[in-house]
Every structure is written in structure tokens, then in C-alpha cells.
Amino acid sequence: MLSSLPFDEMRTPEGALRPHYRAFADWLERTPPDRIAQKRGEAERIFHRVGITFAVYGEQAGTERLIPFDLVPRIIPADEWARLEAGLVQRVRTLNLFLHDIYHEQAILRAGIIPSERVLGNTQYRREMVGVDVPGGIYAHVAGVDVVRADGGRYYVLEDNLRVPSGVSYMLENRKMMMRLFPELFATRSIRPVQHYPDLLLENLHAAAPAGQERPTVAVLTPGAYNSAYFEHAFLAQQMGVELVEGRDLFVEDDTVYMRTTRGPQRVHVIYRRVDDDFLDPLAFRPDSMLGVPGLFAAYRAGRVTLANAIGTGVADDKSIYPYVPAMTRFYLSEEPILGNVPTLMLYRDQDRAEALANLDRLVVKEVHGAGGYGMLIGPAATVAEREAFRQRILAAPDRYIAQPTLALSTCPTFVAAGLAPRHIDLRPYILTGRGSALVPGGLTRVALREGSLVVNSSQGGGTKDTWVLAGEEGAET
């Protein structure tokens, strides 16, 4: 059973500093509060000027907000990271094998590990992808796996993001900001660098090119300047030194994708697309899409262009499939999962549903296709009326929901109006697959800034922190 006491990243339950936070705490003590306050103001000004903002859907058109940035880093010691890294690579390997399997032999369904209708009847399952071979059998070139700590500090995977995971630009900008504001922290500590992420991404995208391409041309495909993550699209393209294209910049001729340039058509081999499946090609998917490229899917099927991520990955990160991931690892790799799942009730099952409905005041209920913190019920924080409304929704369509215990997410000290206070955090590392699977040591740490809140999504008032992975023995638990 999961304990309800939150794990404090910085201090033990007895109040002692954890070893890997010692140096930072010393620095914090030595540094005058004035200087910190001044640096916080500076950080905000710089983020505004550079335009590191995101658009919020549903608000007035064109509203751009800053994601609050907190100066206290989340620190992960070397041994903990080593285990996390191994677990994340194992998980992404599993999910890639699963995706290849369900679009080919479907061995896992025939073996009865997952009920067929869970996969084949899933709205995210793309029939168009059946029998399509993608280079290297890689589907999720970029995976963002959300990890939380609960239960005395144990790591759990909360969610897999295999479609167009975002947020990596904040990981990089947060590090840049910390190094700019407090260079002394980096001079004395062995904090592993993350800034080579764009290089690693480009290398993996190159590796995923159609066979026989010596020097493949890569492009980043964005829905355009009004998309909430446009800043990140432009940022990654610029950092990799590749073109940022919109659908109208591309065209397909003889199953080959070209971009329109001032020097004539130029062939594109790999598209790092930040556009959802539905909008990629009006001929194959949504005919009303203005963002896509007519004929792109045919070129993709013909193996003339690589899409990263592949089409149809959504079925593997769907919350209705999530509970089966540990079983997949055992099935494909004959290994025990290194990182566990949060225990999950699948409400299409009678027994699970009965248990969930009896405990709505203690559970978190999520829509299987929901994302971004929308469409969920946090039982303990909800009113009786809200719980009742959810009960009706569950009974009307039980297979659209899952339920999990309300996790006491770990906390990290965070600057709030009254000074430093514990706030709940999660972690999204980015796993890249192409030539093997790898990740930079770090990720995006999100923090729920409202006291007691468990929702870290930026659309719901969450902030971010720099994430430090320590090198070597320093700070290891003794």
C-alpha cells in the first residue's frame, strides 16, 4: 500500500539534510536573501524578453503566459539516476516492441496478455499502419515518460507520452538560466550537463532516416505560430540547425517529400513532426486539415520519408493500455520491469469498477484519452457533487476511465510568497531512440505551485525547476 506521507527530496523525515542537497543548502544559507530576490526578478525579465512563453487554450486568442520558474533545483544523486535511466530505456524499448508487434504479428494479443479489443478497438489504433515497416522498427523516437516519487521515495511511472511530447525546451532554458544566474553553483558541483540534447536528437533523427541516406535532410514540422508549443518548435529547429517547416512548405511528388526553397525543391528525409496524426495528411486522415501535406502518408508507407514519431503511437501511451506495460516488459524482454506502474483500476472490469465507486473520495479518476490535467477527478479534493457527477459519467462509459490511488507526490522546497515551502513535483525525462536508446541526464521537473496541489501541468498553474543529476560518488547516500 502506498503511504500518504509525502517524500521530501531535500530532508529526511527527521529533518536532516539529505547528502546530495548538502552543498546546495550551504550555498543557500550563505547567499543573502536580497541577492536571491534580485535574481528571481532577473530570471523573470529574461524569460519575458526572450519570449519563452506558451499559449493557453480557451483563453483570449493570442494570450501568452510565462511558465513560472523556481530557483531551487531538483537534485538526483548518481545511483538513483542510474536506476532511473535503466528503467526508462527498458520501458521505451518495451513500448517500441509493442507498437511493432500490434501493427504486425500481434503476438501479445494472441498470447492473451492484453485483451484484443483493448488494442484493436482503441481509437488510437491506426489500421492504416498495419503491415507498414518503419526504419529500425522504431515508433517512439522521442518519448517523454512522466515519473513521480511516492511511498517513501520510490519512483513510479505515471504516464508515457509517445505522440508529440513537449517541454524539453524548458529543460534546456532552465539550465541556461541557472548557469547564468548562479555560475558559482556549477563551478563547485559536479552537475551533469544536458545542453547536448539537440545534438543527440539530431543524431537519432539521422539514424532513423530511410536506408541508404548518407546525409539525410531533417526538418521540424510545426502547426504554426499560433500553436501553444510554437516557441519550442522554433527553438529545437534553430538549435539543430534544420528548417522549421509548416505543411504548406512541403509537397509530395512520386512518393518523395520536398520542401519549397528559394533554390528549388529540396528533398526531406526525416520529419520531426510536432503535428498530431490526424492532421498530417488530409488525403489519409482528417480531410479538413490545413496543417498537413497531401500525399505524406503514401510517401511514408513507401519508406521514402521517416516520421518521428511514427504514426499510430498513441495506442501505446493511452491510459487504458498503461496498466499492461509491466506485463509487456515480461513478454517481450523476459525481464522484470525496473520502474513500476502506479496501481491502476481499469473501470471496464466489474470488480475494479465496484472497488473504485466505493472509494471515489480517495482515488484519482482519469479519462483514458485525457491529457494536460484536463478531465480528471481528484477524489479527496472534490466536492460530493463533483464525485457524484463523475460516478454518473463512469457508469455511462466505464471503459473511458481508470482510477489510481491519490499519490502523495514527493515535495521539493520552492520559493513562494512566504519564503521557502514544500511543493509537489514530478519529472519528465526525454528518451531518444534511433541508434539505441539514450537520454541526457536530467529532464523537466514540474512543480505544483499552489499549496497542497498535485497538478503540475503548466496549463493548470504549474511551474518548473532545473533538474540536476549528480556525477560520480558525490552526494551518494551513505
Cβ proximity to another protein: between 225 and 397 the closer is 225
Distance between CA atoms of 7 and 424, rounded to whole angstroms? 9
Cβ proximity to another protein: between 274 and 423 the closer is 274
How far does the chain reach from its first CA to its final CA, in angstroms? 27
Cβ proximity to another protein: between 181 and 245 the closer is 245
Size of the site for another protein (CB under 8 A): 22
Rounded-to-10 torsion of CA 98, 233, 430, 298: 20
Site for another protein in 246-265 (CB under 8 A): 246, 248-249, 251-253, 259-265
Rounded to a whole number of angstroms, the minimum distance from the CB of residue 368 to another protein is: 37
**CB neighbours of residue 180 within 10 Å:** 12
Distance between CA atoms of 127 and 310, rounded to whole angstroms? 13
Cβ proximity to another protein: between 161 and 227 the closer is 227
Site for another protein in 270-299 (CB under 8 A): 294-295
Rounded to a whole number of angstroms, the minimum distance from the CB of residue 286 to another protein is: 17
Rounded to a whole number of angstroms, the minimum distance from the CB of residue 236 to another protein is: 12
Distance between CA atoms of 46 and 129, rounded to whole angstroms? 44
Cβ proximity to another protein: between 274 and 319 the closer is 274
Rounded to a whole number of angstroms, the minimum distance from the CB of residue 5 to another protein is: 48
Distance between CA atoms of 137 and 231, rounded to whole angstroms? 30
- Coil, strand or helix at 467: strand
Cβ proximity to another protein: between 280 and 315 the closer is 280
Cβ proximity to another protein: between 234 and 438 the closer is 234
Quick one: which segment of 88-96, 243-251, 361-369, 419-427 binds another protein (CB under 8 A)? Answer: 243-251
List C-alpha distances in Å: 146 to 155, 192, 446: 10, 20, 10
Rounded to a whole number of angstroms, the minimum distance from the CB of residue 216 to another protein is: 18
Rounded to a whole number of angstroms, the minimum distance from the CB of residue 251 to another protein is: 4
Quick one: which segment of 158-166, 244-252, 415-423, 448-456 binds another protein (CB under 8 A)? Answer: 244-252
Cβ proximity to another protein: between 177 and 315 the closer is 177
Site for another protein in 293-332 (CB under 8 A): 294-295
Is residue 396 within 8 A of residue 363, CB to CB? The reply is no
Closest CA to 268 of 221, 219, 205: 219
Closest CA to 96 of 349, 388, 313, 400: 313
Rounded to a whole number of angstroms, the minimum distance from the CB of residue 60 to another protein is: 17
- Coil, strand or helix at 464: strand
Closest CA to 176 of 165, 186, 166: 186
The β-bridge partners of 17 are 11
For residues 221 to 240, the per-residue mask of contacts with another protein, x marking binding by CB under 8 A and - elsewhere, is ----x--------x--xx--
Rounded to a whole number of angstroms, the minimum distance from the CB of residue 252 to another protein is: 6
What is the Cα Rg of the chain in Å?
Answer: 23
Helix/strand number for the chain, H first, E second: 14, 23
List contacts with another protein (CB under 8 A).
225, 234, 237-238, 243-246, 248-249, 251-253, 259-265, 294-295
